[in-house]
Amino acid sequence: MPLRLLFIHGWATDSRVWRYQKALAGEFDLSFIDLPGHGGKRGWESPDFGPPRRVLEGLLKGEETLCIGWSLGGELLLSLGGGLPENVRGLVVVGASPSFVRREGFNLGQPRHRVLRMKKELEKDLEAALERFYALNLSPGEDPCLLSHLKEAKKGLSRDDLLMALEALMEEDVRDRLLSIDVPVLIIHGTGDRVCPYGVVEYMKKRLRKVVVEAFEGAGHMPFLTEPDRFNAIVRSFARDLWKEGL
């Protein structure tokens, strides 16, 4: 049985953002999650990671798996810490941070006042707020046409679910769980990321036991869309190495 690659998308998107990663099919068994309130059957019911974690924990059971999480999806994986099931061989975290906002002793996230302003914008004009957020996913020079792959999710999103998920991102702080993660972690991050600044990579690198970093020079928040061939090659190599070690 091939290794399963389980893909988890970010905030205000859905599983369709991984369209170019379908090229990994054949060698691997691919699974794509739609998070609560983001195409999933359930809503985001509380301002924490409880709703998506319950969905994820049910899907993690069974076959040998490499989990790949982008942004919110990456932080969700990190939040499991040492509680990862034995069948999870490793993690790939893409454009993710253990804390989305800045906190005492951690100045690598978004300023809290900026996220609060974003909440107000969502409440006032959902369409305009999403357009501004999607634009942040690109660095200068990247093709704006790629934003269409994020905007596909808009019809399936509700203001209430997005606000609940954004509150969760503001409140969740999983820094203390990094040291307990005992599987190999591949960090993929664009140096021009404007959503989760690249400085967080060094922070995580010092606190994860088994870590490999792949920096995408000049890339923004979604290198799996802007440089899919390189992204897929890196994930393929990492997955192959994990699979060989377990044989």
- The tokens for 14 are 């859905």
* 194: Cβ contacts below 8 Å, ≥ 6 apart: 136, 137, 139, 220, 221
The string of pLDDT tens digits covering residues 21-60 is 999 999 999 999 999 999 877 899 999 999 999 999 888 9
DSSP type of residue 40: S
In this predicted structure, the answer to whether residue 247 has a pLDDT above a threshold of 50 is no
* 240: Cβ contacts below 8 Å, ≥ 6 apart: none
Torsion angles phi and psi, residue 93, rounded to 5: -110, 125
In this predicted structure, the answer to whether residue 149 has a pLDDT above a threshold of 50 is yes
Percent of the chain at pLDDT exceeding 70: 99
Nearest to 151 by CA among 8, 17, 9: 17
In this predicted structure, the answer to whether residue 175 has a pLDDT above a threshold of 50 is yes
- Helix and strand numbers (H, E) in the chain are 9, 6
Residue 190 region, left (φ>0) first, then alpha (ψ -120 to 50), else beta? beta
What does the pLDDT average to over 122-151? 95
Rounded to whole angstroms, what are the CA distances from 203 to 10, 115, 122, 182, 211? 21, 22, 30, 17, 12
- What is the per-residue pLDDT for 196? 98
In this predicted structure, the answer to whether residue 160 has a pLDDT above a threshold of 50 is yes
d(CA 95, CA 189): 5
- What is the per-residue pLDDT for 245? 64
Question: Which residue shows structure tokens 């967080």?
Answer: 200
pLDDT band at 16 (very low <50, low <70, confident <90, very high): very high
pLDDT band at 1 (very low <50, low <70, confident <90, very high): confident
The string of pLDDT tens digits covering residues 66-94 is 999 999 999 999 999 999 999 999 999 99
In this predicted structure, the answer to whether residue 101 has a pLDDT above a threshold of 70 is yes
Class for the domain spanning 4-246: alpha beta
Please answer whether residues 196 and 229 qualify as being in contact, where contact means their C-beta atoms are separated by less than 8 angstroms: no
- What is the per-residue pLDDT for 155? 84
10 Å CB burial of residue 136 (0-12, 13-18, 19+) is middle
- What is the per-residue pLDDT for 88? 96
